[in-house]
Amino acid sequence: MFITAGPKQLGRHLPGRGLNELPALSTNPTSSMLFGHLEHLLLSASLTSQIITNPSPPSPTLVKLPYGSFEGKESGNLVEFLGIPFAAPPIGKLRFEPPTNSITFKGVRQATSFGPACPQLEPEIDLPLPRPANVSEDCLYLNVIKPTNIPEGQEIPVLFIHGGTLVNRSIDLGAPVILVSAAYRVNAFGFLGGKEVKAARLGNVGLRDQRFALQWVQNHIGKFGAIARKLRFDILSWGVSAGAMSVAMHMLLNDGNQDGLFRGGVMGSGSPMVLPDIVRQQRHFDTLVADTNCTDAIDRLECLRDAPYDALIAAVQRGSRAALFAGGRFPWQPMVDGNIVVRDPQLSVRMGKFSNIPVMTGCAEDEGTNNAEFLEFAKSNYFNKISDEDLKALEIAYPDDVTQGSPFNTGTAHVFSPQYKRLSAFQGDLVFQATRRSFSAIASKRQPVYGFRYMRVPSNGVPYLGVAHGSDLPEFMALVTDTGFIGADALIYFIHNGDPNAPQDSISLLRNTKWEVYSSSTENPPLFTFVDPPPSVNVTFDTYRTDAMKLLNKLSLKEIGRYGL
């Protein structure tokens, strides 16, 4: 049973205790091999603040918290509080440690601009994606974006996500929301693995950062005009899958007891998936130790903690590059640590040990094209002990036929390499589609699940990627206007009602359609489908590549069983 606790009790656990036993642990979008994408997509949500010695009189832009006061700024219809610390800087002896309480200060601090992002990796190729201008280990900050005028006593829900344009759209709909985005540690800084890490009970501190930020929201969002008991959350770091997988992880922690921290979840391109055991990550720990000259240290973990930042991040970069080059799997990700993640997520789902809350979940059509010889790759990186019979079945399910590969529905076009489209189809289904379908089928038996499928080809996209991972982000974040805001409107109504459908008197185009729950048909589960040309939508069914995805889920469960997870 998860025990409720106030913020002063949160953070580093007591020796010998797991998450469920903590007297006080309360634990932002992230995840699997896709942390490889998160490193250049996650939130830049921090601020190096300056003390104001003569604070301004109380105003809509001033918020007083128990550990200090912050001055935000007005921006049109919004008030923005940027760079508020929700935990102490994880530097020095706090490197690799769970989050602890923010440092108290006097006076008023400016909270009007973003600051450094958490340490992240440089992409191996140039991509048309934003890069943070500043990076620092001192990065545990969050942002609060709210409507300017909140009527007294109005219950305004909170969306735990990134983006400001969605708040403006919520005002247009007459369904205002408050947005909160939080930075959290990633790669080796947040998900260091190995036997030493397990012994110190320091696995998955990135997840602990997220949980800590959620508890901060519950404790303090009332100061910004929100009602915490109507809180909903979605940890989607710019729509990246890692954030959606974080939503899944928080739905599974404490065997699904969310301790009132959230009331709904949105998982775009991510769901509960198979995770490695923390001890199986030892080789990555050993590589990192060697690259930082800590091999001969009496306490290798302490040596890593004391290593200069530049040396450590360079070693993390080298280790990640080597692991990805060898097999395409990212070395730093959530793990089964026996402490806060007590079993593999796929087992928890099948045991029914996840939060009973409304869920929106879906994928882009060509999820695997961002990560793409086939059978040897599958065996060495995903199914180490696969039988010859299962390997043959996998070969049949994903044939060496470019017309059946991803990007789908493109015939013989975009054959980037002989196995590219085949591998893209396999990875997209294994990492995203099959796990989403499995979770939706199980969860929809007891709670509302709203599925979607995104098939719109981005106008400024890369042709050989198709409707790639993250293509749906502009739709749901109200970043484009030619789509009729259908995705954004659905998200806003889901935040308010746990249901993405619009009322008949809404200005939204959603009022002309119906988003059915996934469980409305067991044979043909409906998916609300975004198609070209925008703002067109229709209904497709979650029955594509049925046999292939059943096989992938079966193989994943076999892999879990072999390692006792």
Residue recorded with tokens 């007294």: 152
Spatial distance between the Cα atoms of 403 and 551, rounded to a whole number of angstroms:
21
Asked if the peptide bond before residue 448 counts as cis, ω within 30 degrees of 0, the response is no
Q: Residue 349: which residues within 8 A CB-CB, separation 6 or more? A: 252, 272, 438, 439, 442, 443
The one catalytic residue in 49, 102, 170, 241 is 241
Task: Concatenate the DSSP letters of all residues of 447-515 into one string.
Answer: S-EEEEEE-PPPTTS-GGG-SBTTTTHHHHTT--STTTTHHHHHHHHHHHHS--PPPTT-SSGGGGS--
Whose tokens are 């059943």? That residue is: 550
The CA distance from 37 to 469, in Å, is: 10
Structure tokens at 194: 């190995």
Q: Whats the size of the chain, residue-wise?
A: 565
Is 71 one of the catalytic residues?
no
- Active-site option among 13, 40, 469, 496: 469
Residue ranges with strand state E in 425-520? 449-454
18: exposed, middle or buried (C-beta count within 10 Å: 0-12, 13-18, 19+)?
A: middle
The string over 90-110, giving b where at least 16 C-beta atoms fall within 10 Å of a residue's C-beta and e elsewhere, is beeebbbbbbbbbeeeeebbb
Rounded Cα distance between 120 and 357, Å, is 32
Q: Which residue from 228, 231, 216 is spatially nearest to 101, judged by alpha carbons?
A: 216
Catalytic residue among 39, 196, 365, 367: 367
Residue with tokens 């089928």: 441
Taking the alpha carbons at both ends of the chain, their separation in whole angstroms is 21
Residue 241 a catalytic site member: yes
**492, HSE (Cβ side, Cα atoms, 13 Å):** 30
CA atoms within 13 A on the CB side of 155: 8
Q: Give the whole-angstrom CA distance, residue 243 versus residue 469.
A: 13
**519 close to 527: Cβ distance less than 8 angstroms:** no
Just list the catalytic residues: 241, 367, 469
